[in-house]
Amino acid sequence: MRDFYKLPRLYVTDQLAHGADITLPDQQSHYLARVMRRNIGDQVRLFGGRNGEYIASIIHISKREMRLQVGEQIRPHIPPPDIWLLFAPIKPKRNVFIVEKATELGVSLLQPVITARTTSKINMDKMHAHIIEAAEQTERLDLPHVREALKLERILENWDANRALVFADEAGEAKPAAAALAKIKAPAAILIGPEGGFTADERDILRAKPYVTPISLGPRILRADTAALAGLALWQALSGDW
C-alpha cells in the first residue's frame, strides 16, 4: 500500500463510495485551501464512520466551497472495541479531556451520567467537534456514539445485564483494577463518578447489581478525568485491541 498517512485526513458525513462527489463544509474548505495550501489535483483522506477510509482528489476550489471526487478505498471499516464510558460531567475543560481521550482510546459509546453529586452540565453537541478532531488525528475510522445525559437510576433500570459494568469505588472494598478488568471482556462499560464520588446509596445500588464489578484505582484519589483515562487504558491493555 502506498504511504497515504502524510495526507490531510477529514471526517465527512457523506456516504463514501468510489466516484462520488463531495462538497466540503466552509470550515474544512478553508482548512484545506488556506491553511494546508492544497490545490486542484491534490489528494486527501476521508472517513465517515461507516464504510472505512477513502482517498479523494480536489476537483474544484472557489471562495465558498471545495469539491472532492472519491477514489479507492484504502482501509475497510474496522468495528471499535465494544467498551462504553459512562461519566459524570465535571468542569468544561475536563469534560473536553474526557471525550477526547475516550475517543482516542476507542470507546464505542459515551454516556454522561447525572448522579447525586453531579453539579455540572455537558453539551455533547459542543463536544462533537473535539470528538471529530480526536478521531481525525488518531487514525480512528469511526466516531463513538453519544447519548444525552441521564440519571444513574434510569440508566440502571434499562441496563442490559449481558454488558458488564465496572465502576470506580474508592470509598469501599474493591478489587485492584488490573485483576478485575483482566476477567472482564466485551461487551463492557466503565462508570466514573463525579468530583466527590458516589454517595453511599448509589454505591449500594450499584453493588447490588449482578453485572456490576467495583474496582479500585489504587491508593491515591484520582480526579474524575484521570480515573476515566486510567480505567480505559487498563481495559484496553487487558481486554481491548491494543
3-state secondary structure (DSSP) of residue 180: helix
Return per-residue pLDDT of the chain as tens, 242 residues: 457 888 999 999 999 999 999 999 999 999 999 899 999 999 999 999 888 999 999 999 988 889 999 999 999 998 889 999 999 999 999 999 999 999 999 999 999 999 999 999 998 888 999 999 999 999 999 999 999 999 999 999 999 999 999 999 987 788 899 999 999 989 999 999 999 899 999 999 999 999 999 999 998 889 999 999 999 999 999 988 88
Distance CA(196)–CA(202), nearest Å, equals 13
Domain map of the chain by residue range? Answer: 9-75, 83-239
| CATH architecture under which domain 9-75 falls | Beta Barrel (2.40)
What pLDDT score does 95 carry?
A: 96
Q: What is the pTM of this model?
A: 0.92
What pLDDT score does 174 carry?
A: 87
Cell 485491541 maps to which residue? Answer: 241
H helical segments located in 105-223: 124-137, 152-157, 177-181, 200-207
Cell 468542569 maps to which residue? Answer: 91
C-alpha cell of 55?
Answer: 482517498
Query: 41 vs 56, 63, 191, CA distance in Å?
Result: 9, 17, 47
What pLDDT score does 2 carry?
A: 59
Segment (H or E) for 224: helix 224-239
H helical segments located in the chain: 26-30, 92-104, 124-137, 152-157, 177-181, 200-207, 224-239
User: Are the C-beta atoms of residues 138 and 11 closer than 8 Å to each other?
Assistant: no
**83-239 classified as CATH 3.40.1280.10:** yes
